[in-house]
Amino acid sequence: MPPTGSDPARMNRKKGDKGFESPRPYKLTHQVVCINNINFQRKSVVGFVELTIFPTVANLNRIKLNSKQCRIYRVRINDLEAAFIYNDPTLEVCHSESKQRNLNYFSNAYAAAVSAVDPDAGNGELCIKVPSELWKHVDELKVLKIHINFSLDQPKGGLHFVVPSVEGSMAERGAHVFSCGYQNSTRFWFPCVDSYSELCTWKLEFTVDAAMVAVSNGDLVETVYTHDMRKKTFHYMLTIPTSASNISLAIGPFEILVDPYMHEVTHFCLPQLLPLLKHTTSYLHEVFEFYEEILTCRYPYSCFKTVFIDEAYVEVAAYASMSIFSTNLLHSAMIIDETPLTRRCLAQSLAQQFFGCFISRMSWSDEWVLKGISGYIYGLWMKKTFGVNEYRHWIKEELDKIVAYELKTGGVLLHPMFGGGKEKDNPAPHPHFSIKHPHTLSWEYYTMFQCKAHLVMRLIENRISMEFMLQVFNKLLSLASTASSQKFQSHMWSQMLVSTSGFLKSISNVSGKDIQPLIKQWVDQSGVVKFYGSFAFNRKRNVLELEIKQDYTSPGTQKYVGPLKVTVQELDGSFNHTLQIEENSLKHDIPCHSKSRRNKKKKIPLMNGEEVDMDLSAMDADSPLLWIRIDPDMAVLRKVDSEQADFMWQYQLRYERDVVAQQEAISALERFPTPASRLALTDVLEQEQCFYRVRMAACFCLAKIANSMVSTWTGPPAMKSLFTRMFCCKTCPNIVKTNNFMSFQSYFLQKTMPVAMALLRDVHNLCPKEVLTFILDLIKYNDNRKNKFSDNYYRAEMIDALANSVTPAVSVNNEVRTLDNLNPDVRLILEEITRFLNMEKLLPSYRHTITVSCLRAIRVLQKNGHVPSDPSLFKSYAEYGHFVDIRIAALEAVVDYTKVDRSYEELQWLLTMVQNDPVPYVRHKILNMLTKNPPFTKSMESPLCNEALVDQLWKLMNSGTSHDWRLRCGAVDLYFTLFGLSRPSCLPLPELGLVLNLKEKKAVLNPTIIPEAIAGNQEAAVNPSSHTQLVGFQNPEDDHLAKEASCNMSAHQQGVKRKADTPLGSPLEPGQILEKNEDSSKVKLKIRFSSSQDEEEIDMDTVHDSQAFISHHLNMLERPSTPGLSKYRPANSRSALIPQHSAGCDGTPTTKPQWNMELPRKGTGKEQPPLEMSVHTAAAAPLSVFGKEPASSKHSEHHHHHHHEHKKKKKKHKHKHKHKHRRDGRERGRGPLAFPSPAGGRSARSPSLSD
């Protein structure tokens, strides 16, 4: 992992645990944000901010703030004009001359760019020079007021304008604007210190049309009309110290509802939605009460506002004393399915009000504590509201999610900086993005990060008890609220920031328990545990011999050592055993309690004290074991594959009372398609007391079992008679009862059963006619007139069921799909879909669930060859102006079409939408869907993969998405999926250096064929020996290399793949040799430079932006601050600094295209020295003009220092890289042999007890 610019000094400081120290040489105490003009037509904002700061060092002469997108007109400090420069290296991550197209390179550069402006490291895009008149003032550490006039024109991120194009005034049109973004994104809409750790009090003023309402943080002090009465100004005051990142705004013609239960809570929604708002928020006060009760702490802010807006960036965004929700969460009392989801969103946002908004984090590496706590208390709320079953089900779901993600994609590290130098033990799990900064993360990773955080918090609870846990939270909150009420004192306010170490200290203080091992395992380390359990019963010793193996070599796994609970259900009862998992012990003997073999009369006591009768005839006569569960409490983040006989799973399903166990049994039973499994599942389905989600899962399992048993299946199709009994009329069993959804459990079952039934297949692998007729009848006789609830979700699921019943068309000679050869069953299905889809136009359903299902079904029909595959229908539904759910469903179909039909045109259409669509969520979602269902992958040949596409995507992530962190990371994800880490194979020229290096390492793999190899090569480029190689370019050995390069080149040009170990001796074309010779002089020149700079190539590569940036700052400080000059594109700045270099660089590629790919490396090597020099000169020259000699020298020293740090770190990294490389090699060697296969061990030992 390359350095990202976050200096180790800070890490050390944290380890020392001396409380919080600001990375800035000043402390912010108060900020005024005043937006005095908002133009919806032009989508522009004009205003100013005023920051009140106290210098903490005497020689403060530059102040760095965050600002993106904003046009800054004027900066004044204490009413004196101040010079400033504005430079945002994230606008364009890699500069135009770079043709490297290498994701590794990009990721490093991006991480460096983000760090270069990271407020947590004291950096910022805006650098203001303190006027010399004030230096004396500063030396006395007196207050400074920085006044910045700015405007925003058509912001692409940060503030989102929604302006419907209808007649009427903006208010009548429902136009609104709101702040949005991922993590700290406030800098997108006003200059600030955009860090979660810089707290201050706030005064917020917004002047808007009289018909509009501005909602912001804190208390609304007053609203003042302007003289002409056409506008009014909303004045908000936030006296609780809050970070800029938690400041938000929403302006629109909102309808206002004061919560009838709590008058300090106000809800806002868009016009016409007030009735929905009333219903939706009527529940919120209960959430409030719950949190206040468990935390024994009042809600920290004096008021709370919820705002529901359209085109939301995320469904829920929590800010200080205010949450912004998607308007699509609103629902009426008739809607069943949305209600729990919306309530969950409300509860989530409220939990984040306490932890996330009120209590903020010290640094990104402490984020997990906040996400963990808010997720954990939200879980407690779930348990109380929806019951323990739902809670446990949720935990299991989350656990499965994180396990699946980590095993597939790589580990999730909660505390990325904690380990410091120890990263060697835990190599970066995600090669294509840096996890050291929130803005470089893949969105999916961040979602999983949150998931893991709350699961780990639950593990801590398991260890120290819930009571202590809540005490810790209470302690954090009460400390924070004491601090918040204080006047400005820098050390007090930091009590409102949570850090990992502070949190752990609180835990040990409150509970007196040592949770260090737990933290080490789950927080400081990434990965999950993979257990394989199998057992045998030793009759003689009456002992259960349990074998628990672990796989800790696969990516995303780790080794677990420690206690593990195992629950054994015997005839005489249920017994818990705690095993100690150690390094080398696999086998554990567990003594059995049941002495009596088979006590027929006795009831069998279960874990919960209940005693039940069981039919024990299925059991093994010799064994008293009913079932065994490994880690039943989910006290480890793990995946357990355990071996049990089928009857044991069946007993577990029927009699174990834990829903998680039941679900595990259901998924295990898929492997045992027997009549006994069928019976067990059917019994569960029929059992009313059984948790409805378990019953729903049983439906799908039953369908799978029925399909496996198709040749021996007797009776009507699975579930048919059950459904008839439960939901159809007594007198006419083919007609479903009129809808009555009063019982939600049976509602969900009624919805699900037909969907599962549609998956049934007969011996010809077709959906049985009987099932199709059954579903069509359900649709026909559906009657909702007497129902209190809407049946839109039910009807949508019926369409899903129809889609599930579709099987691939039998096609003769690839005939064209026309109406004439349409299968009659499909005709019926189409008839229904057409009618449903058309009816939606006249009587739309809630959230258009039916349209969504219809679109999906049509895509299924297309994919199965019944209907001609055609994206035009979906494209029309994907247009802006349709409801977002419809758009996403349609886009999903287009994405699928792009993949199946390999359509370049559609891919282009999608990418255009990614660039231009007005809704950020849709843009993000397209990239996300393309990543999940890619048109091709790096290991695949595809006609779609061409240079233009590479360039387009590269451009997108390099500069096209600079306004939205999430989008840029999405583009990176997609690029990674399509092309991998290294140079995309479709590019015509391989990189010379790569071949060189591989040669030297005696690697025989052609990097262009095996992408990972190239990935390794990037690291190898650091190796100084490669330089020497380059220097001696003209010696005979190098001719070989050149030859190889050229062969590779030509091979690529012909589109032919070559194995790497093909001989090097292919003849050279004369022209190429000539070019090489010509070029070698340049190479030499370059090399001399780089060798003098000792092996810093990549290092500079990664940090050059920040370097350029710094030097630039120093240079630019003397320039006048005109608006024209205030915006420097980094590329310009660099070319200004090193003109001769860039000229050479630009010239070569055009004349000698074959050497294109060599240039970037040259570039990086060559640009290094001028940069270095410029830093030095800059440090020396302009600073002296500042006239503060001591200060300037200190600064330059600082830079040196900084640089050295990088070097040191770099060296470390190099070692690591080497290490990694070797490891890679090892792994490659082992290849498909994989790890000592647990499966093998398993198969050797039969799961059956009779063995």
The residues that touch other proteins, with contacts defined as CB under 8 A, are: 164-166, 174, 270, 272-273, 276, 310, 327-328, 330-334, 729-732, 735, 737-738, 740, 742, 780-781, 783, 785-788, 790, 817-819, 830-831, 834-835, 837-839, 841-844, 846-848, 858, 861, 867-868, 870, 872-873, 876-877, 879-885
Q: Smallest gap, in angstroms, from Cβ of residue 921 to other proteins? A: 13
3-state class percentages of the chain: helix first, strand second, coil last, to nearest 5: 50, 15, 35
Q: Which is nearer to other proteins, 172 or 589 (CB)?
A: 172
Q: Which is nearer to other proteins, 28 or 854 (CB)?
A: 854
Q: Which one-letter DSSP state was computed for residue 1026?
A: H
CB neighbours of 1063 closer than 8 A, spacing ≥ 6? none
CB atoms within 10 A of CB 673: 19
Q: Smallest gap, in angstroms, from Cβ of residue 722 to other proteins? A: 18
Q: Which is nearer to other proteins, 813 or 818 (CB)?
A: 818
Alpha carbon separation from 1003 to 1000, 1011, 1047, 1059, 1090 (Å, rounded): 7, 13, 17, 12, 25
On the 0-12 / 13-18 / 19+ scale of CB atoms within 10 A, 264 is middle
Q: Smallest gap, in angstroms, from Cβ of residue 327 to other proteins? A: 5
Q: Which is nearer to other proteins, 255 or 973 (CB)?
A: 255
Q: Smallest gap, in angstroms, from Cβ of residue 894 to other proteins? A: 14
CB atoms within 10 A of CB 57: 14
Q: What is the DSSP string of 1046-1096?
A: HHHHHHHHTT----TTS-S-PPPPHHHHHHHHHHHHHHHHHHHHHHHT-S-
Q: Which is nearer to other proteins, 143 or 334 (CB)?
A: 334
603: left (phi over 0), alpha (psi -120 to 50) or beta: beta
Q: Smallest gap, in angstroms, from Cβ of residue 866 to other proteins? A: 9
Q: Which residues pair with 537 in a beta bridge?
A: 544
Q: Smallest gap, in angstroms, from Cβ of residue 211 to other proteins? A: 17
Q: What is the DSSP string of 21-77?
A: --SSSEEEEEEEEEEEEEETTTTEEEEEEEEEEEESSTT--EEEEB-SSPEEEEEEE
Q: Smallest gap, in angstroms, from Cβ of residue 333 to other proteins? A: 7
CA distance 604 to 622: 17
Q: Smallest gap, in angstroms, from Cβ of residue 269 to other proteins? A: 10
Q: Smallest gap, in angstroms, from Cβ of residue 1178 to other proteins? A: 53
Q: Smallest gap, in angstroms, from Cβ of residue 815 to other proteins? A: 13
Q: Smallest gap, in angstroms, from Cβ of residue 332 to other proteins? A: 5
Q: Which two tokens stand for residue 360?
A: 């903020």
CA distance 1095 to 300: 54
Q: Which is nearer to other proteins, 872 or 916 (CB)?
A: 872
CA distance 994 to 161: 47
Q: Which is nearer to other proteins, 53 or 854 (CB)?
A: 854
Q: Which one-letter DSSP state was computed for residue 192?
A: B
CB atoms within 10 A of CB 37: 13
CB atoms within 10 A of CB 708: 16
CB neighbours of 178 closer than 8 A, spacing ≥ 6? 159, 160, 248, 249, 250, 251, 252, 307, 309, 324
User: Where does 69-198 show beta strands of DSSP type E?
Assistant: 71-77, 80-81, 84-87, 126-129, 144-153, 159-162, 176-179
Place of tokens 């903020």: 360
Alpha carbon separation from 772 to 40, 798, 970 (Å, rounded): 52, 11, 40
Q: Which is nearer to other proteins, 408 or 841 (CB)?
A: 841
Q: Which is nearer to other proteins, 40 or 188 (CB)?
A: 40
540: left (phi over 0), alpha (psi -120 to 50) or beta: alpha
Q: Smallest gap, in angstroms, from Cβ of residue 252 to other proteins? A: 12
Q: Which is nearer to other proteins, 578 or 731 (CB)?
A: 731
Torsion angle of alpha carbons 673, 674, 675, 677, nearest 10°?
-70
Q: Which is nearer to other proteins, 215 or 277 (CB)?
A: 277
Q: Smallest gap, in angstroms, from Cβ of residue 1070 to other proteins? A: 55
CB neighbours of 449 closer than 8 A, spacing ≥ 6? 367, 368, 371, 412, 414, 441
Q: Which two tokens stand for residue 192?
A: 């600030």
Q: What is the DSSP string of 419-484?
A: TGGGGGGS--S-TTS-SSSGGGS-HHHHHHHHHHHHHHHHHHHHHH-HHHHHHHHHHHHHHHHHHH
Q: Which is nearer to other proteins, 858 or 956 (CB)?
A: 858
Q: Which is nearer to other proteins, 129 or 160 (CB)?
A: 160
Q: Which is nearer to other proteins, 728 or 1157 (CB)?
A: 728
Q: Smallest gap, in angstroms, from Cβ of residue 944 to other proteins? A: 24
Q: Smallest gap, in angstroms, from Cβ of residue 845 to other proteins? A: 8
Q: Which is nearer to other proteins, 751 or 1076 (CB)?
A: 751
